[in-house]
Structure 1
């Protein structure tokens, strides 16, 4: 199974809702050579929403079953992918109290894109952290 790495970064890790930029890099090997694709965007929302949006956009670019490694500094999102996403999906994306989980739409999208994929999460900085932050500052990202 082919391995695809998704590296995610945002311009701010502040938890409050605000206008923020995000970026991601997809990396894999094709015919023995490394290939990368990147994407950038802007969202009015929380840090978690920005990471979820970047993850959904990156996952949407994957066209075949893969071993997906998700790299992010957002420990909460990675923990939810590992420990809660399948439970939420089975329960209709409702919390234990019967209310919709926060960012339900984003989580549902990610769940649908991840079905059939093997995923591994890796918390912390990564090889593209600095480059993504520089590119977010340099680029004029429109909504």
Structure 2
């Protein structure tokens, strides 16, 4: 099984709804060499929602089942990723029976995790990571004109190539 690291960043951690730039790096080791794919865009939503939409877009690029470690400074999202199956089992509802916040985005991530006969194995770390500064710099340079998350419903995957990382997957 491939090992993949997904590094996520936004240009703002403001909790309210607003337009923000987002970016991610997919990284894997191939023949002892790190290979990466990255993408940037804009999202209009809360901080958590923007991180989730960016994660869904990164997952949509996966083409084989993998062990994935998500690196994000969003502690809430990182803490909920290991509970994805539990949230799905509860119908995306909290203890009061109300839909959880960002249920649509969480359900999209769940579908992408289960897009293969063997689902991805997911873990997460809440941290400033090795790509944080680079992603921030690239978001400042790049116009980030494309809207993140457009076309995710089709769940298209790349035609060929590997997707992920051998190496730094979290415990």
Instruction: Output the TM-score relative to the length of structure 2.
Output: 0.79
Deviation at 1:55, TM superposition (A): 0.4
Structure 2: distance between partners of 1:120 and 1:95: 22
2:135 maps to which residue?
Answer: 132
Q: Which runs of 5+ in 2 are unaligned?
A: 148-171
**Greater strand percent: which structure?**
1
Tell me, yes or no, if structure 1 residue 141 matches structure 2 residue 131.
no
Tell me: higher relative CO, structure 1 or 2? Use CA pairs within 8 A at least 6 residues apart: 2
2:94 maps to which residue?
Answer: 95
Structure 1: distance between partners of 2:64 and 2:100: 28
SS in 1 for 2:15: coil
2:164 maps to which residue?
Answer: none
Aligned length: 142
SS in 2 for 1:86: helix
RMSD between aligned residues: 1.1
Q: 1:120 aligns with which of 114, 118, 123?
A: 123
Deviation at 1:6, TM superposition (A): 0.2
1:41 maps to which residue?
Answer: 41
Runs of 4 or more above 2 Å deviation:
30-33
